[in-house]
Amino acid sequence: MRKLIGFKKTRSAVFISGTGSNLKNLIKFSNKKNSPISIKLIISNNKKAKGLKYSNQYKIKKKILNFKNHKTAEKKILKILFKKKINFICLAGFMKILSKNFIKKFKGKIINIHPSLLPKYKGLNTHVRVIKNKEKFSGCTVHFVTSKLDAGKIIMQKKVKIAAKDSAFSLKKKILKKEHIIYPAAIRKILN
């Protein structure tokens, strides 16, 4: 269908909290002619997030929210999402948990990337726990976001072999490279 003349890219927002390497990768992906998404907004809970620099670099509007009052922050986000007619959300290293109410408003339209082979190693400090447990493999997962943390339907996964010399740091780097491959691929899988 999308290959037909005049297809419209899905208006999307990316939520970040830190470095933003996935954000940068998704922006580059969205700028491809045949990409199914167009990134219209960057949301962050952290005004110091390094990834916010991509807002200026790629001329994408950003909005920074203080999550001290979670409910108010989400209300403000919803307002701007509706105003900008966003109908797809990619979480990319966004370290806040969205409420049930928020997720309900974008049912089936929020996806996340997590640095483990879900359902293993949900939550934080994934790489440290994986190394500590002497796992042979880890990886990354793109999944739909539901109100259960890191438990929504899996869209795509990529496995990574852990070497004896790997640290949490080297593993993180290895897995990030794979994240940059599967996040766009997962988006194509569900939106193409």
Count residues contacting ligand GAR (CB under 6 A)? 14
Comparison of 166 and 179: residue with beta carbon closer to ligand GAR: 179
Torsion of CA 14, 99, 105, 91, to 10 degrees: 20
Comparison of 52 and 86: residue with beta carbon closer to ligand GAR: 52
Closest by Cα among 98, 74, 77, 95 to 86: 77
21 touches 176 (CB < 8 A):
yes
Per CB under 6 A, which region of 34-42, 55-63, 113-121, 163-171 contacts ligand GAR?
A: 113-121
88 touches 12 (CB < 8 A):
yes
Taking the complex as a whole, how short is the minimal distance between the CB of residue 6 and ligand GAR, in angstroms? 32
The answer to the question of residue 146 lying near ligand GAR (CB under 6 A) is: no
Closest by Cα among 102, 105, 28 to 65: 102
Helix (H) or strand (E) holding 155: strand 154-161
End-to-end CA distance of the chain: 8
> Which of 64, 80, 128, 176 is close enough to bind ligand GAR by CB under 6 A?
176
The answer to the question of residue 36 lying near ligand GAR (CB under 6 A) is: no
> Which of 9, 40, 114, 178 is close enough to bind ligand GAR by CB under 6 A?
114
> Which of 36, 115, 139, 152 is close enough to bind ligand GAR by CB under 6 A?
115
115 touches 132 (CB < 8 A):
no
- For ligand GAR, what does the binding mask look like between residues 56 and 95, x meaning CB under 6 A? ------------------------------------xx--
Taking the complex as a whole, how short is the minimal distance between the CB of residue 149 and ligand GAR, in angstroms? 9
At CA 121, angle to CA 117 and CA 126, rounded to 5?
Answer: 100
The answer to the question of residue 184 lying near ligand GAR (CB under 6 A) is: no
> Which of 60, 77, 89, 113 is close enough to bind ligand GAR by CB under 6 A?
113
